[in-house]
Structure 1
Amino acid sequence: MGLFSHLGLSDLPKEIFNYRLFWSVGVFGILGAGRGIDEGLVGGMISLKSFKDEFPLEVGTASEIANRESNITSMVQLGSIGGALLAFILCDRIGRVRSLQALTFLWAIGFVIVVTSFGNIGQILAGRLIAGLGVGMTTVVGPTYLAEVAPKKIRGMLTNIFAGAVYLGVMIAYFANWGCSENISDSSRSQWVIPQAIHIMFAGVIFIASLTVPESPRFLVMRGKHEQALKNLCTLRQLPSDHPSIMSEILDIRDQLDHEQESTRGSTLWGKLKELITIPANRYRLMLGVMSQLLGQWSGASAITIYATSFFAALGKTGQSEKLFATCILGIVKFCSAYICAFFLIDFLGRRRSLYTGIILQTLSICYIAIYMAKVPASAHVSETSEITGAAKRAGIGAIAAIYISGFGWAIGWNSFQYLVNAEIYPSRLRALGSSIVMCIHFANQFGNTKAVPNMVLAMTNYGFFVFCTAVCVLGLLWVWFFVPETAGRSLESMEELFALPWHQIGRHGKSLSPVGDGLFGEDQEKARAIHQE
C-alpha cells in the first residue's frame, strides 16, 4: 500500500484496480490511435515518390499544389465533423459499446476504399471522408466511456489513455512510413498502401475486443436499466453489490440523473441544446471545451504533426529517409510524454499545473524555432553546395530539438486537457451532446488548420507561421490562468457545485471555494442501504 499511499489512493479498495477495468479502459482508450495514425501517415504518404507517381499531385502553381495536398490531408478532418455529431445521436441511443462497434465499421470501410483507389484521387477523397466519420466518433465515444467508468481519483489517468493513444498511433504511423520508404521500392504502390492498411487492422482488432467490454453503468442508469447498471459496476470494480464503495457510487449516479431529469423532464434534443446554452453553468462548461480547441489547434502542434516532413526539411533535413526518421523521433517523444502525463502528472500534479507546464514549454520552443527561421531562412538549406556550418548549424540542431520539446509540451498540456475537460465536466445527460459539439469544433478547426497551413507558410514564410503560433500559445497561458478550474479528484457528480460559482471565480478560486468532499454520511448511508435492498 506504500505506492497507493504516496499517490493518494490508499483510501480506495484495492479490488478497484483490476483486469476488467483496465481491459475495458484499454479497448476504449486505444480508439485515440485512429486519429493519430492518420495524422502521422497522411503527411508522409503525400511525400512518398510512389504516391506522387500514381496520383499527379505536383501539377500547376505552388498554390494549386498546396491546395491539392491539403484537400487530401484534411478530408478525414472534414468527415470527422459529421462523425462527432453522429456520435451524440448513437451514444445516447444505442450506448457507448455499440457506438464503438459502429465507428470501427466506418473507419475500416473508408480505408478499404482508399487502398483500392488505383490512381483515382476522387476515390481517395471519398474513402478518407467516410473514414473520417468513424475517426470523428472516436473522440466522443472513447473519452465519454472512460470518464464514466473510471474511479474519480484516477479519472484523469484513465481518460488520458485515449490522449496517449493518439501518439501511439502517430508513432506507429511515422515508423510505418519510414520503414516502407526504406524497404519497398519507389515504383511499388505497396510503399504507401501497406501503411494505410494499418487503419483496417486497428479497426478490426478494436471491434473484436469490444465484444468483451461491459456497457457504461451511467448509460444504463440513464436508460432505466438499474439492475444491469449495478451488475456492470460490480464487474468493473470487482466488488460485491453491498460494498460501501459500490453503494456510494451508484447512489451518486442515480441522484444526479434523478435531479437532472426532474428539472428537465420531457426535454427534447432542442431542449437539451437550449439547456446547454442558456444555463450559465453549462455555458461556462461549453466555453472551456470550445476555447481549449481553438487555442490548442492553432498553437502549431497539429500542423507540426501532420506536416512534420516539410518542417524538418525547412530545418535542414533534406533527404527523404532523413526527414522520415526525424518524424519517427518526434513520434516517440509525443508518445512517451503523453503517457508520462497520463500516469504521473494529470491526476497527481493537477489539470492546471500540467497545462501550464505544457504551454510554457511549447511557447518557448516554438518561439526559438521562429527566431531561428528568421535568421536562417529555409532557402539556405535548398542547395547542397551551400551547406550551413558553424553557429548556424548548431542553432539548427537546437531548432530540431525545439520541435521535439514542443511535442513534449503539447502532449502534457493541450493534448491531455482537450479530451479530459470534455469528458468530465458535463452532467451525464448532456455529456454526449456537449462532447459532440466541442469535437465538431475540434475537427472544424483541425480541417481549417490543415487546409490553411500550406498557404500560411507560402504567404507568411515559416518564420511568420511560427510567430503566429507563439502568439496563440501566450494567449492560451492567459486564458488558463483566468478560466480553467482544477477538477482533479472530483467525482463527475460533484462538478455541479464547482460550476454553480460566479463565472469569475470558477477558474482561479474554484478549488478553494468548492472543495472536494468524499464519503457517505447520515441520510446518504440510509439511501445507499435502501438502494441495495431494492
Structure 2
Amino acid sequence: MGILYYKAALSDVPKEILNWRLYWAVAVFGILGASRGLDEGLVGGMVKLKSFQSEFHLDHGSEDHIANQVSNITSMVQMGSIGGSLLAFILCDKIGRVRSLQALSLLWGFGFVMVITSQSSIPQILGGRFLAGLGIGMTTVVGPTYLVEVAPKAIRGMLTNIFAGAVYLGVMIAYFANWGSSINISNLSRAQWALPQSVHIIFAGLIFLLSWTVPETPRWLIMKGRHEQALTTLCRLRQLPEDHPLIQTEIVDVREQLEREKESTHGTSRWAKVRELVMIPANRYRLMLGIMSQLLGQWSGASSITIYAADFFAALGKTGHSEKLFASCILGVVKFCSAYICAFFLIDFLGRRRCLYCGIILQTVSVCYIAIYLALVPPSAHSSPLSASAKHAGVGAIAAIYISGFGWAMGWNCFQYLVNAEIYPLRLRALGSSIVMCFHFINQYGNTKAVPSMLLSMNTYGFFVFCTVICSLGVLWVWFFVPETAGKSLEAMDALFQLPWHQIGRHGKDLSAGQGSFSDVVHMDYLEKAEQEVEQNEVQKNANL
C-alpha cells in the first residue's frame, strides 16, 4: 500500500510542478537549517581548543566554575533563539517569509562578527552569541513555514526536510572545521578558534544574497489580499498556466480556508490568534503535539551528544584531542547522510508516524546499550589496559553513538520541523511554529546548561539511563497521540484535528480520509481507482497463471 500510495501521489500531479524554480526556492530556504547545525558543532569543539581556553581563562579554576562558564558560552545562542523564535511570528506575518529571511541573516552574521572580534572579553562573546541566536532562532520558524507553503503536497515531507537535513550539513562542516584547525593551526594563535567561527558569517552572507532571487509564498500573499500577485507567483512556482485545474483548486482551497477562519474567529489581532490557538480544542491538540515533541526530543540525548560529542567519545575511550574531534567528524557525516536519506526516501514513503516510531526505537536501543557499557566499563577504566571483550564492547558503544544519530535523524529531527509547520491553519502557522520553537530553544537552553552538571553528578552512564527513559516515554506518546499527516494538503488538516482527541493519533488518518479540501477529495478518488486497477491486474495475472 505504501509503494502504491507513493507512486500514485507523484503520478497524480503534472510533471511541470517539479521544476528548477521550485527546487531553487527550496534550496535557499532549506539551507537555513545549517545555522543551528554550525553552532551545535562548532561551539562544543571551540571551548575545548587550547587557544580558546587560554584566551578566555578556561584552563584553570574549579571544575564547577569551568563547567558554569562553558555552559554560559555554549547556551547563549539558545537563549537568544528563544526571543528569535517569538520575533519570527511577528515578522513572518507582517513583512513576509522572504523579508524575514533577510532580517535574520543580518542578525546571525553580525552576531558572529562580534564573537570573532572579541579580545579576551567574555561579555562581548556572550553578547555576540545572543544576537546571533536571535537570527538562528528565527530560522526554525521562517524556513519550515516557507517550505511547507510552496511544496506540492505529494513531496512536502521530502522538500521540508531539506531544512532538517541542512542542520547536519552544518554539524558536519563544523566538526571538520574544528578538527582541521586543531591539527593545522597553532595552539598559541587565536585563529585556531576564530577561523572556524567565520563559517557562520559566510553562510549568513550567502543566504542574504540568495534571498533576493526567490519569490514570496502565494499563501502569505493571499493572506495579505494580494490575490493577483499570489496567482502569478503560484503559476511561476508550478510552471503551469492560470487556468490549469491544479492552480485553480490550490488557490480556491487557500481562500476558502482563510474565509472560514475569519468567520469563525471574528478578529485578526495577535491576541485573538493566541486565544484561538489555546481555546479551540483542535488547535490545542496541535500545540500539544508540537510542545511534547520538543520536550521529549530535546531530552532524548541527541542534541547533547551533538554539542558535547568530544566529551562522550572521551568517555568511550577516545583519549587524544584530535582523535576525539575526528570521531566527532564521523558522527557529523553519519547524521548528515542519515538526515537526507530520511528526507528523500523515507518521510513521504513510510509516513511521518512510522519514521518517528522506527527512529525513536533505534535511539532507545542505542542509548540503552551505551548506558550499560558505561556502567560496566566507566571512563576511569581506560587508564589501564582493557580486556579484549571490553575493547570489543567499547567499539560497539561508539557504533551505538552513530546508530543513535541515524535514529534521531529518522525520528525526532524529521518530525519536529515538518509536522510542526504543516499541521496549523494558515493564519496560525507562524504563531504556532513560533511558540513551539520557542519551547524548543527553552528546552535546548536548559539541556545545554544542565548536561555538564548532570555528567558530574549522575556520572556519564546515569545520563544515558536518563535518555533511555525519555526515549521509552517517547515511543508510548507516539503510539497514542501522533497522527499520520502524509499526503494531506495543508488546507485539509482541519478534518483530521476535528476528530475526538482520543481518535486523532491512532485512527485519525483512516477516519479523516477523503475529507477536507476539494483537491484532497479528487486525490482520494484517484487513489481508490488506482487500487482497484492494481487489484484487477493481480486477479487477471493469477487467472492467466
**TM bucket, shorter chain:** over 0.9
Return structure 1 stretches of 4+ with deviation > 6 angstroms: 2-5
Mapping 1:302-341, distance limit 5 Å? 302-341=303-342
Cα distance in 2 for residues equivalent to 1:459 and 1:5? 49
Match of 1:400 in 2: 398
Question: How many residues are treated as equivalent by the alignment?
Answer: 519
Two-structure CA RMSD over aligned residues (Å): 1.6
Cα distance in 1 for residues equivalent to 2:483 and 2:23? 28
Contact 1:4 1:10 in 2 (8 A): no
Contact 1:490 1:516 in 2 (8 A): no
Pair 520,456 (structure 1): closer, same or farther in 2 beyond 3 Å: closer
- 1:60 positional shift: 2.4
Instruction: State TM-score, norm by structure 2.
Output: 0.93
Contact 2:290 2:436 in 1 (8 A): yes
Contact 1:178 1:321 in 2 (8 A): yes
Contact 2:489 2:517 in 1 (8 A): no
Cα distance in 1 for residues equivalent to 2:367 and 2:287? 28
Instruction: State TM-score, norm by structure 1.
Output: 0.95
Match of 2:378 in 1: 377
Mapping 1:452-531, distance limit 5 Å? 452-516=450-514, 520=518
1:140 aligns with 2:146: no
- What is the letter of the counterpart of residue 428 of structure 1? L
Q: Deviations over 1:283-340 (max 9, x none)?
A: 0000000000000000000000000000000000000110000000000000011011
Cα distance in 1 for residues equivalent to 2:314 and 2:375? 15
Contact 1:77 1:443 in 2 (8 A): yes
Pair 278,3 (structure 1): closer, same or farther in 2 beyond 3 Å: closer
Match of 1:222 in 2: 223
- What is the letter of the counterpart of residue 172 of structure 1? I
Unaligned runs of 5+ in 1: 525-534
Q: Identity over aligned residues, as a percent?
A: 73
Cα distance in 2 for residues equivalent to 1:176 and 1:286? 38
- What is the letter of the counterpart of residue 486 of structure 1? E
Aligned pair partner of 2:433 in 426, 432, 435: 435
- 1:53 positional shift: 1.3
Cα distance in 1 for residues equivalent to 2:78 and 2:44? 14
Cα distance in 2 for residues equivalent to 1:83 and 1:428? 21
- What is the letter of the counterpart of residue 295 of structure 2? L
Pair 275,474 (structure 1): closer, same or farther in 2 beyond 3 Å: same
Cα distance in 2 for residues equivalent to 1:494 and 1:353? 21
Contact 2:77 2:132 in 1 (8 A): yes
Pair 47,347 (structure 1): closer, same or farther in 2 beyond 3 Å: same
Contact 1:373 1:463 in 2 (8 A): yes
Match of 2:24 in 1: 23
- What is the letter of the counterpart of residue 120 of structure 2? G
- What is the letter of the counterpart of residue 498 of structure 1? L
- What is the letter of the counterpart of residue 346 of structure 1? I
Cα distance in 1 for residues equivalent to 2:126 and 2:513? 50
Cα distance in 2 for residues equivalent to 1:268 and 1:5? 40
Cα distance in 2 for residues equivalent to 1:305 and 1:55? 23
Mapping 1:196-235, distance limit 5 Å? 196-235=197-236
Range with bigger deviation, 417-426 or 59-68: 59-68
Contact 2:492 2:517 in 1 (8 A): no
Equivalent position SS for 1:206: helix
Range with bigger deviation, 180-189 or 477-486: 180-189
- 1:185 positional shift: 1.1
- What is the letter of the counterpart of residue 466 of structure 1? F
Pair 5,409 (structure 1): closer, same or farther in 2 beyond 3 Å: closer
Match of 1:528 in 2: none
- What is the letter of the counterpart of residue 373 of structure 1? L
Match of 1:532 in 2: none
Q: Deviations over 1:109-134 (max 9, x none)?
A: 00000000011111110000000000
Match of 1:108 in 2: 109
Cα distance in 2 for residues equivalent to 1:7 and 1:57? 58
Range with bigger deviation, 69-78 or 4-13: 4-13
Match of 2:292 in 1: 291
